[in-house]
Amino acid sequence: MSWYYIEGILIQSCYTLLIVLGLSILTGYTGMFSFGHTGFVCIGAYIAVICTMSFGLPYLAALLIAGLVAMALGALLGKITLNLKGDYFCIATLGVGEAIRLIFNNLQLSWTVNGKEFVLDGAKGIASIPLKTTLWGDWRALFRGEIGTFFSSFFSSSLLIVIIFVAATALLMNSKHGRSMLAVREDELAAQMSGINTFRSKMLAMCMSALYAGIAGGMLAHYFGYLQPKMFMMVKSTEYTIMVIFGGMGSITGAVLGTVLLCALPELLRAVGDWRLVMYGLAVIIIMIVRPRGLMGGKEITDLKIFRALFATKKKPTLPAEDGGGADS
């Protein structure tokens, strides 16, 4: 297995993890299942490509705009659908996700900016998207002190983005907003009776989830170098949901583990040829039988006994208080 191949798996894990983290906020922490999440990824991918190829914006700026547009769409969708419960919300998101894909599948547009024509050609998609996918050379550049070269690479920038969003997710889940989302997941009526604005909590989860997916879509498009609507079919939303459940609902550590393992496993099983996907499915089924609550079972790495044992601080022994009463003379 070449280093270039390993690089591909790592980059795929990066943008997929961003999608799964966002979906974990919506599904794992707030309890709302979405099977149309690829719609936000699709929006983010097309917006980011338009920003870089048509308007010449920098890659990171294009990702930010793509995320904000996807978040605005998520807010609009949330305004309409968040009052729906259970299966009805799931069906609504499925319909919206497929509608977005079909819009881009049939959209025929072209425009010219600074003498350069840009074409959206429906199902044919977009080709020749600029991409940079170096790995080891840029890590060596980091060790030589060439920081600019390191952060200009696709993998290093993807890794940096993922680290930032993992930290942001951890901060969000440990805030009062994160605790409100957990309360909504456990019992929405009880949360509402205790004074929590459940609609606001669900709207925040929806917007954050869409933001993550939009940015990840831009990363995906600039890694593959081409874009087609068929890349965002419903089956991809199912895969992302499986990763959330596989790692453990309501666990950031579980989202990371589930994403990395399920991204790497199909590639590691290529040796078995046509049986690869069968073995992949069996492996997922076996692990879910053994660990029905997912790999982490809703816990974080900091909750594990081995982690506590490694980083536990020893308490200083306290001396017994001296007897205040003096001896009678």
Q: What is the pLDDT of residues 94-123, one digit of tens each?
A: 999 999 999 999 998 888 888 788 888 888
Q: What's the pLDDT score for residue 315?
A: 53
208: in domain = yes
255: in domain = no
Residue 249: name the closest of 180, 200, 186 by CA: 186
Residue 178: name the closest of 211, 212, 208 by CA: 208
Name which residue leads in pLDDT, 277 or 121: 121
Q: What percent of the chain has pLDDT over 70?
A: 85
Are 258 and 295 contacting, i.e. CB atoms less than 8 angstroms apart? yes
Range from 144-158, 167-181, 296-310 carrying the lowest mean pLDDT: 144-158
Q: Provide the mean pLDDT of the chain.
A: 84
The 3-class secondary structure across 150-208, one letter per residue, is HHCCHHHHHHHHHHHHHHHHHHHHCCHHHHHHHHHHHCHHHHHHCCCCHHHHHHHHHHH
24: in domain = yes
Cα–Cα dist 224/196, whole Å: 43
324: in domain = no
Q: Which domain holds residue 64?
A: 3-232
Q: Structurally, how many domains does the chain consist of?
A: 1
Mean pLDDT confidence for 272-287: 82
Give the pair of three-digit tokens for residue 140. Answer: 């060596």
Cα–Cα dist 149/102, whole Å: 39
The DSSP bridge partners found for residue 288 are none
Mean pLDDT confidence for 51-60: 88
Long-range contacts of 242-245 (CB under 8 A, 24+ apart): 242/284, 243/16, 243/20, 244/20, 244/23, 244/24, 244/27, 244/28, 245/288, 245/294
- pLDDT, one tens digit per residue, over 231-270 is 999 889 989 998 998 898 889 999 999 999 989 888 888 7
Residue 97: name the closest of 249, 224, 210, 243 by CA: 210
Identify the band that residue 73 occupies on the pLDDT scale cut at 50, 70 and 90. very high
**Secondary structure of residue 120 in the 3-state scheme:** strand
Tracing tokens 């995906």 back to the chain, one arrives at: 220
List all residues 6 or more positions away from 169 whose beta carbon is below 8 Å from its beta carbon: 21, 24, 25, 252
List all residues 6 or more positions away from 143 whose beta carbon is below 8 Å from its beta carbon: none
158: in domain = yes
Residue 154: name the closest of 8, 30, 46 by CA: 8
178: in domain = yes
Tell me, what DSSP letter sits at residue 315?
P
Q: What percent of the chain has pLDDT over 90?
A: 42
76: in domain = yes
263: in domain = no
Asked whether the CA dihedral 130, 164, 300, 188 is positive or negative, the reply is: negative
